Structures are given as structure tokens and as C-alpha cells.
Chain A
Amino acid sequence: GAGVSQSPSNKVTEKGKDVELRCDPISGHTALYWYRQRLGQGLEFLIYFQGNSAPDKSGLPSDRFSAERTGESVSTLTIQRTQQEDSAVYLCASSLARGTGYLYGYTFGSGTRLTVV
């Protein structure tokens, strides 16, 4: 597609439920990134994919968080047993390949606003 697409744009869930957030990167972008933006804070790195492997998932806050990617396409971020502190905007970005982000910049999606009640 023309840009990075994320769905849903908004999600309200009850504490303890599982949620899945979806990211469609730009076609041909092999690198994909997930970030979390809490209210009033900067973005926190969660995980990086090169193709369908995740060389760095050091930013995932707990084992309730997991992510996968199908080939060089769609990625899904799953949060199990959601807690109120998981409320945030989850942003996905993609770039042509690792290392090109600093050359060309990363293309970010509009994010999924997750609210846990």
C-alpha cells in the first residue's frame, strides 16, 4: 500500500482480555518496528522485525506481549491479559531494510489507541 496501515484505530477492552493489533507495512519494506506511546511520553521501542524474524524484541515489557510477522508483510502485536498500564497508542513503522531508516526515515502508521478499562 501507499502507507503503513494499522487496525483498529481505536480499541477499548476490559482488563484481563486479550487484544490483537495489526500492522500492514509499505509493500517491499522488509524492516518493521513496533513502538508504544504512553500519554505525555515519547515513543518506546518494542520490537524490530527483519523479514519474519525478530532480531531484537528487547523492548517488549513483559511476557504478556508477543508479536509475529508473516513473511515481509503483515505483523500482529498481541497483548494477553491486558492491564490498565497497557493503555497507550501503539505505533508501527516500516523501512526498506535495516539501516535505511536513518537514511530515509521511518514511515509510521497512524497508530492504534488502546484503552484498557
Chain B
Amino acid sequence: AQSVTQLGSHVSVSEGALVLLRCNYSSSVPPYLFWYVQYPNQGLQLLLKYTSAATLVKGINGFEAEFKKSETSFHLTKPSAHMSDAAEYFCAVSGPLNDYKLSFGAGTTVTVRA
């Protein structure tokens, strides 16, 4: 079985500060890992994904994530937060045996202070 754990249900950052959202995964097979963002009353939008290519993955809106097998982590970062980054962020995992099914973390809500 595959699962992800997101550390911290709420993160508050100042505008211009580093955004760091933590995600750890559990998987017995090489995982596919994703970060999605959800703005209020909208569906989920894919930020970036890891599918066993480069371990440092760059996504949209200046976000990036690094796959660290030794730490079973896939943390999401953005060097400088913008007010428009306020949203809920979800880490998700799937694998080659069940590539159609995503297992999601509980989500992290990001607020950005002016």
C-alpha cells in the first residue's frame, strides 16, 4: 500500500519569505509523487510531479520539489511567497501497479501575510 503524510495542516508565511511544505511517503515500489494546489471553490491543479526522472522537479508558479529516497520525502518549496500562493496544497502518491489511483495527504493550508 502507498500513502503520504503531510506535516502541518496550516502554514503561515510572510510575503517574500520561503514556503516549505513537507510530505513524506510510504511505498514498497518506486513511487510517482505529485503536488496539487486547490484554490477556494475550485478543483485541484497539478503543480508538479516526480516520475523517476530528475530528482529535483520544477513546477508552475515558481514551485519546486526534491525527491529524496533516503528520507522518503518530497517536500515542496518556493523561494519567495506571493499573496496569490494562499491556497490548500496536497501531496499525492501512486505507483506502477496502480497508476490510476492517487493516495492523497490531508492537505496543508497556506496563508500569506502582507
Question: Which single member of B42, B43, B98, B104 contacts A42 (CB below 8 Å)?
Answer: B104
User: Which residue of chain A is the closest to B98 with respect to CB atoms?
Assistant: A56
Within B49-67, the residues touching A (CB, 8 Å) are 49, 51
Is A43 in contact with B104, judged by CB distance below 8 angstroms? yes
Is A102 in contact with B51, judged by CB distance below 8 angstroms? yes
Query: Complex Cα distance A98/B15, Å?
Result: 40
Question: Which single member of B6, B9, B46 contacts A106 (CB below 8 Å)?
Answer: B46
Query: Complex Cα distance A55/B101, Å?
Result: 11
Nearest Cβ on chain A to B88's Cβ, whole angstroms = 10
Residues in B with CB closer than 8 Å to A50 are 100
On chain A, which size bracket covers the interface?
20 to 34
Given contacts A102-B32, A105-B49, contact A110 B106 (CB under 8 A): no
Q: Does A114 have its Cβ within 8 Å of any Cβ on chain B?
A: no
Nearest Cβ on chain B to A30's Cβ, whole angstroms = 11
Residues in B with CB closer than 8 Å to A101 are 94, 99-100, 102
Nearest Cβ on chain A to B67's Cβ, whole angstroms = 14
Is B105 in contact with A42, judged by CB distance below 8 angstroms? yes
Contact code string B79-100 (vs A, CB < 8 Å = 1, else 0): 0000000000010101000111
Q: Does A111 have its Cβ within 8 Å of any Cβ on chain B?
A: yes
Is A33 in contact with B42, judged by CB distance below 8 angstroms? no
Within A22-65, the residues touching B (CB, 8 Å) are 31, 33, 35, 40-45, 48, 50, 56
User: Which residue of chain A is the closest to B109 with respect to CB atoms?
Assistant: A40
Residues in B with CB closer than 8 Å to A105 are 34, 46, 49
Is B101 in contact with A42, judged by CB distance below 8 angstroms? no
Is A42 in contact with B107, judged by CB distance below 8 angstroms? yes
Query: Complex Cα distance A22/B92, Å?
Result: 24
Given contacts A99-B100, A105-B34, contact A110 B94 (CB under 8 A): no
Question: Which single member of B34, B43, B105, B106 contacts A91 (CB below 8 Å)?
Answer: B43
Nearest Cβ on chain B to A12's Cβ, whole angstroms = 16
Residues of A whose CB lies within 8 Å of any CB of B are: 4, 31, 33, 35, 40-45, 48, 50, 56, 91, 93, 95, 98-99, 101-103, 105-111
Residues of B whose CB lies within 8 Å of any CB of A are: 6, 9, 32, 34, 36, 41-46, 49, 51, 90, 92, 94, 98-107
